[in-house]
């Protein structure tokens, strides 16, 4: 590290190749690149030859690097805050047990609800921290976290408070209200009344600053399009954007419903129709692909990838980190699964985990390396960006910076 009397920038990294992603196609490659930042913003992105002076006079800290630097990864769909696990259900499913049999044995989402309700805020934070650490160590600098395992006011609030507390790790956290995730046992047979209750809780949580967006599970085993629409109307009345678990198991028109509310994203989307894809393109709604759940559930129905490409629907990727259907703690592994199962190219996968994932959260200031963007970036021990999707596991991230601060 070298310092000068009056440096213009906090830090400067030079020598690595940059994948800026700051163009509609290609990695936006800059060889022998330079990346500089001041406070939490990028101040220079270019080649060493274009630097406007001697590095040591420009920045308080100068780092010589190798490999590649990409934007920080954005995990735009997780259920990371929960208590307990469902490893026993995994064994049962491999042994041929059906979802109904697992539920009768006390498993399924309500088992996670019981465990999450039983944990106090400190214990819930303690159990959630290792999952967040794992995602950050593999390059995540922005993390979306949903509620939905509390299913009453106090426990939904507890989940969202724990999600906010994870910002202590130095990353950005976006919180999503997902009370319309499942029907709690105390409302058995009264789903409309439960939606009434969930709508009543929303403004109380929003005024506490705990809600950045509203989500729902629109599916035959979840909530109907009409019930989802009511939840979205409540969100719109508060000026909150919406997202949706849409068309995972059947086509109920969920993606089109999300688009009709100018939704940030429709997620899962295996059964989404071409008409819905066209509506998503018209309203700027991102398709969030969740290959972890596809993999764990051994699904065979692929999302309509060609329709998304044809109509220009941005495709994001996320881990869907959750205890039941996607116990995945690496966004880079999700990128690999997307290439393997969905035949995405490595470039599509990297864009899906950066610029398009940021858009799925309504964040326009990250996901690319560009002057003025948030200083979220990762130094990787790789010879080409495709390696991020090539290696199964392993530690490739050398350093992770979020808001200009090194968090790994």
Of 334, 325, 338, 336, give the one whose Cα is nearest residue 298: 325
Distance CA 335, CA 350 (A): 7
Residue 259 and residue 279 in contact, taking contact as beta carbons nearer than 8 Å: yes
Degrees to nearest 5, angle at CA 140 with 134 and 145: 80
401 is in an annotated binding site: no
* 310 belongs to an annotated ligand binding site: no
Token couple for 368: 């690319």
Q: In sequence order, what are the residues at sequence separation of 6 or more whose Cβ sits closer than 8 angstroms to the Cβ of residue 78? A: 135, 143, 144, 145, 146, 318, 319, 320, 321, 322
Q: Is 152 annotated as a binding residue?
A: no
The residues pairing with 400 across neighbouring beta strands, listed in sequence order, are 378
Cβ(272)–Cβ(303) below 8 Å: yes
> Is 155 annotated among the ligand-binding residues?
no
Q: What is the rounded CA–CA span in Å between residue 18 and residue 249?
A: 39
Confirm or deny that 77 is annotated as ligand binding.
yes
325 among annotated binding-site residues: yes
**Distance from CA of residue 270 to its chain's centroid?**
18
Query: Is 352 a known ligand-binding residue?
Result: no
Strand partners, 37: 11, 42
How far apart CA 186 and CA 320 sit, in angstroms, is 27
Phi-psi region of 147 (alpha: psi -120 to 50; beta: other; left: phi over 0): beta
320 in a known ligand binding site: yes
Task: Pick out the residues of the known binding site for Fe(3+).
Answer: 77, 79, 245, 320
Task: Pick out the residues of the known binding site for 4-imidazolone-5-propanoate.
Answer: 86, 149, 181, 248, 325
Task: Pick out the residues of the known binding site.
Answer: 77, 79, 86, 149, 181, 245, 248, 320, 322, 324-325
Task: Pick out the residues of the known binding site for N-formimidoyl-L-glutamate.
Answer: 149, 322, 324
Task: Pick out the residues of the known binding site for Zn(2+).
Answer: 77, 79, 245, 320
């Amino acid at each position: 590290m070298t310092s000068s009397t009056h440096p213009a920038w906090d830090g400067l990294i030079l020598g690595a190749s940059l994948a800026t992603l700051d163009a509609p196609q290609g990695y936006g490659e800059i060889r022998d690149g330079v990346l500089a930042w001041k406070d939490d913003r990028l101040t220079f992105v270019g080649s060493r030859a274009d630097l406007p002076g001697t590095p040591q006079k420009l920045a308080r800290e100068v780092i010589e690097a190798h490999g590649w630097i990409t934007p920080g990864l954005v995990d735009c769909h997780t259920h990371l805050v929960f208590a307990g696990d469902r490893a026993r259900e995994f064994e049962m499913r491999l042994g041929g047990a059906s979802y109904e049999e697992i539920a009768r044995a006390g498993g399924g989402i309500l088992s996670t609800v019981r465990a999450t309700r039983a944990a106090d805020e400190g214990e819930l934070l303690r159990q959630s921290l290792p999952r967040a650490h794992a995602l950050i160590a593999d390059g995540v600098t922005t993390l979306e976290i949903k509620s939905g395992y509390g299913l009453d006011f106090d426990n939904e609030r507890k989940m969202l408070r724990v999600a906010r507390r994870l910002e202590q790790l130095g990353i950005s956290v976006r919180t999503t209200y997902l009370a319309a995730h499942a029907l709690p046992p105390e409302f058995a047979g009264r789903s409309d009344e439960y939606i009434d209750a969930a709508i009543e809780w929303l403004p109380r949580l929003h005024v506490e600053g705990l809600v950045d967006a509203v989500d729902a599970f629109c599916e035959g085993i979840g909530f109907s399009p009409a019930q989802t629409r009511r939840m979205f109307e409540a969100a719109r009345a508060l000026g909150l954007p919406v997202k949706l678990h849409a068309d995972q198991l059947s086509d109920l028109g969920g993606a089109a419903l999300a688009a009709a509310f100018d939704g940030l994203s429709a997620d899962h989307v295996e059964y989404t129709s071409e008409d819905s894809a066209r509506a998503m393109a018209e309203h700027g709604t991102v398709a969030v692909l969740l290959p972890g759940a596809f993999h764990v559930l051994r699904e065979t129905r692929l999302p309509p990838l060609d329709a998304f490409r044809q109509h220009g629907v941005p495709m994001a990727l996320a881990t869907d980190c959750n205890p039941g259907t996607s116990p995945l703690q690496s966004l880079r592994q999700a990128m690999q699964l997307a290439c393997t199962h969905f035949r995405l190219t490595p470039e599509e996968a990297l864009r899906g985990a950066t610029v398009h994932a940021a858009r799925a959260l309504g964040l326009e200031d990250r996901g690319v390396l560009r002057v003025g963007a948030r200083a979220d970036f990762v130094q990787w021990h790789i010879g080409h960006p495709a390696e991020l999707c090539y290696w199964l596991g392993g530690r490739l991230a050398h350093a992770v910076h979020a808001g200009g601060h090194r968090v790994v």
